[in-house]
Amino acid sequence: MRLLAVAWTTFQPRTVGLAAALGGKPAFVSSRLGRALPPLRYAAAALKTWRLLERDSPELVLAVTPPVFAPLVCWLWGSWRRRPLVIDCHTGTLESTKWGWADPLHRWLMRRASATLLHTEQALSVVEGWGAPALLIPDDLPEAAEAAALPAAERQTVLVAGSFDENEPVEAVVEAARLLPEVELRLTGNPELLPAGIRASAPSNVVFTGFLPYPVFLGELMRAQVVAAFSSDPGIMNRAAFEAVGLGRPLVLTDFPGLQERFGQAALFSTNEPARMAAALRQALGNREQLAERSRRLAGDLRGRRSHALSRLRSLIDRGRNRARPASGATLPRSNRPAVLMITQHSPAEHVQVHRNLLELAGRGFDVDVVCSRDTGVHELADLPPGIRIYEVPVRHKRKPAIRYPFEYSAFFLAALGIVSALTLRRRYEVVQVDNLPDHLALVTPIARWRGIRVVFNMFELMPEMVASRYPTGALSGLVWVARGMETAATRWADHVIVVSQDCWRRVHARGVPGSKLSVVLNTTPSPPGTLLRRPSSYGETKEPPFLVTHGTLVDRYGVHVALQAFAHLADRWPRLTLRVIGDGDARPRLEELARELGIADRVIFTGYLPWPETIAQVQRAAAGIVSVIADGYGEVLLPTKLLEYTSLAVPTVCARLPAVEDYFPENSMAYFTPGDSDDLAHKLEAVLSEPALAASRARRAAEVAGRLGWDRMRHAYLQALGLPFEDSGTPARAGAGQLSRA
């Protein structure tokens, strides 16, 4: 991949670092017109940039803003040449009054870029709020080997790193130097940018180094006892701070929240008042060994964060390349292959069953057009087979606040209505599948119905039960009637309806949907090739201490708080036992606080989100899996995916007694407990741990049941519900990155 990183300046270490990390090269575009005549200067830089891009013809362009005209020129060239754009948004772009006028233009550009790279959490929040793909990437950290060797300092030395721009409190630094006559303060930057009065009045212990070549600048950092960087810009993310940390130097910064968050574990902080600056520098000189060690520890952390962010950036770049260039290598032209249209307000990257359905259809030789919401970036789409085209609606789902729901659903509905209408006018699909939630999404298919295309409504959730459990009483309880009306409209509109359990079938059938119009497709998932779905015969075979596990989205309905309370009852009797909670969600902070209150925080491991193979690897080693769904009126209809995974792995399972589960798993296949009863759950877990042979016997019976419910069986029901051929003669899905295209 040929990458060109373009910055309209004379030199920028961050741009050099990003270009190197992505296997490309930097290009710095400057003008001889100097600081005057901005329109002419920007016009000249734009012309130079266009010529540079035409000459190098990169496969990917990274453009630095500000000024906004640099990424604008790069986007125009990329649109013409079908090359993706990444924007590196420096601090001040979104906060300063100087560039405030350009916010609409930045928003427009960033929503069309493959990714926007940010320095601060505040900027990340702004860009994500614009619906643009965004990523927080720390600066690269230099190594000592990059620094020029300079003679050792003859006296105590502080290097004040800067460029003498308008945001640097140079006059305050000079006054602080008067209070430290025994210390030499070396100020970097072009002294011609300073008022002559400041230079003339500076005390003798102030040295203006002038502009330094980068290796020499790093050498100055290495030989100084302390490095300082001061600014009056609250949104600043000092490059010099990264450089000082990378070289393990003691660091003093201006006391701003963003800098505290990023460098708080290593640096000392001061306001921009001469006396406080001098005091902080004196303290840093006195504690330089401890501060240097803290910088070295922070350097390791920042390098890890940067590595992770760069990995995510490469995934976003791959998506951008696929979007900018048509996918190649398909076995048949899209116009000659049968096609399915899927409409879902879930992200295929973040919803396991949506991803499962995509792979199944593509593996059987269908083109699949998918109208969906934009993913959050937590999960990444990768290794999709040929023939899948994604049409993203820039609406991300958020659970809170509740008032967001009607706006979110309405925005997605209107956007999907336009996209789906255009697609179904342009192409004759074999079938259109619409997933809930929300139920009224089924009504975006009038053109499909008009053209006689089969519409299948796939009900992942029962919306009336979900709303009733959330708003059982009060002013919002009337929403249950709205939900019932929406479900009725959707099920009557569709040609066929898919539900996820026998209990759901009974409920929907009782509401007037004919049995001939209903199919059951469980939320089972196929095993990826090479994934081990086999459990050791006993957790005692390994030297690893026993642990319990529960995984999934952390929301109140899934009852993880009940699991914590039950574990607290067991903790004293099983001193080596731990509980692993795999997943993330709104309830996580409350659950972590509950673990502390129960005195078990040191034995409960909240892993956060883990990739599915890693989750399965942990689950299959567990002494028991816990399914603690609450019976809140909606929990009763759930057949949790985690339950099917535990049982498929023959992991002993302790599960809340729910009607949807009892339809499939008999008493002798798992330990049932009363939903919401932590004492009963603790009792059943105690029995599983105390009688491993009996627990293993039950788990084997559950695995037999799960085998009959697996995707190898369910895929036939799914394809039949769609009205598609379901003989086992479909073309296998061929994994390969680069085949996904996005409209």
Query: How many angstroms separate the CA atoms of 124 and 132, rounded?
Result: 10
Phi and psi torsions of 106, nearest 5°: -60, -45
pLDDT at 518 (0 to 100): 94
pLDDT of residue 78: 86
Q: How far apart are CA 206 and CA 367, in angstroms?
A: 69
Cα dist from 555 to 583, 612, 629, 630, 656, whole Å:
10, 19, 10, 11, 16
pLDDT of residue 319: 65
Q: Is the pLDDT of residue 202 over 80?
A: yes
> Tokens 């996918």 identify what position?
327
pLDDT at 380: 52
**Residue 740: its pLDDT value, please?**
41
Residue 27 pairs with which residues in a beta bridge?
6
Tell me yes or no: is domain 144-300 CATH 3.40.50.300. no
Structure tokens at 24: 């490309």
> Has residue 530 got a pLDDT over 50?
no
More confident residue, 501 or 335: 501
The second-level CATH assignment, the architecture, of 326-524+732-742 is 3-Layer(aba) Sandwich (3.40)
- pLDDT for the residue 466: 86
Q: What is the pLDDT of residue 171?
A: 92
With cut-offs at 50, 70 and 90, classify the pLDDT of residue 33.
Answer: low
d(CA 535, CA 466): 34
Tell me the mean pLDDT in the region 189-214. Answer: 89
Say what the pLDDT of residue 382 is.
56
Residue 609 phi, psi dihedral angles, 5° rounding? -65, 135
The pLDDT of residue 446 is: 92
Q: Is pLDDT above 80 for 444?
A: yes
pLDDT at 671 exceeding the cut of 90: yes
Q: How confident is the model at residue 308 (pLDDT cuts 50, 70, 90)?
A: confident
Residue 312 predicted with pLDDT over 50: yes
* Overall fold of domain 539-708: Rossmann fold (3.40.50)
pLDDT at 376: 54
What are the residue ranges of helices labelled H in 164-287? Answer: 170-178, 196-201, 214-223, 239-246, 257-263, 274-286
- pLDDT reading at 378 higher than 70: no
Q: Determine the pLDDT at residue 727.
A: 59
Residue 320: pLDDT band with limits 50, 70, 90: low
Cis peptide before 67 (omega within 30 of 0): yes
- Residue 399's pLDDT is 54
Mean pLDDT to the nearest integer, 444-473: 89
Q: What is the DSSP letter of 108?
A: H
How confident is residue 701, by pLDDT bands cut at 50, 70 and 90?
A: very high
Per-residue confidence (pLDDT) for residue 83, from 0 to 100 = 87
The mean per-residue pLDDT over the stretch 170-199 comes to 91
- Each residue's pLDDT tens digit, 703-720: 999 888 888 888 899 999
CA distance 511 to 227: 72
Least confident of 324-328, 375-379, 545-549, 713-717: 324-328
What pLDDT, on a 0 to 100 scale, did the predictor assign at position 183? 94
Gap between the Cα atoms of 395 and 375, Å rounded: 9
333-358 mean pLDDT: 83
Choose the weakest-confidence range: 17-21, 318-322, 338-342, 694-698. Answer: 318-322
CA distance linking residue 208 with residue 164, whole number of Å: 11
Q: What is the pTM of this model?
A: 0.52
121-140 pLDDT, tens digit each: 888 888 988 888 888 888 88
Q: Over the stretch 478-503, which tens digit does the pLDDT of each residue have?
A: 788 899 999 999 999 999 999 998 88
Higher local confidence (pLDDT), 432 or 2: 432
The reply to whether 144-300 shares the fold of 3-136 is: yes
Q: In what order do the strands lie in the sheet with 60-65?
A: 25-28, 3-7, 60-65, 85-89, 115-118, 134-136
Question: 3.40.50.2000, 3.40.50.720, 3.60.21.10, 1.10.12.10: which CATH number matches 3-136?
Answer: 3.40.50.2000
Looking at residue 568, its pLDDT comes to 95
What integer pLDDT is reported at residue 736 of this predicted model? 31
Residue 230: pLDDT over 70: yes
Is pLDDT above 90 for 458?
yes
- Averaged confidence pLDDT in the chain: 85
Higher pLDDT, 623 or 477: 623
- Reading the block at residue 259, the tokens are 């800098």
What band does 579 get if pLDDT is binned at 50, 70 and 90?
Answer: very high
The mean pLDDT value for 647-670 works out to 92
- What average pLDDT does range 76-96 have in this prediction? 84
Longest dimension (CA), the chain: 93
From CA 567, how far away is CA 556, in angstroms rounded?
A: 17
What local confidence, expressed as pLDDT, does residue 42 receive? 82
Cα–Cα distance, 132 to 115 (Å, whole number):
7
| Extents of the domains making up the chain | 3-136, 144-300, 326-524+732-742, 539-708
CA distance 738 to 732: 18
pLDDT at position 597 is 95
- Dist CA 556 CA 355 (whole Å): 25
Residue closest to 291 by CA, chosen among 207, 228, 219, 220: 228
- By percentage, how much of the chain surpasses pLDDT 70? 88
Confidence check: pLDDT of 541 > 80: no
Instruction: Among 225-229, 235-239, 563-567, name the one with the lowest average pLDDT.
Output: 235-239
- Is the pLDDT at 327 greater than 60? The verdict is no
Euclidean distance between CA atoms 61 and 78, whole angstroms: 8
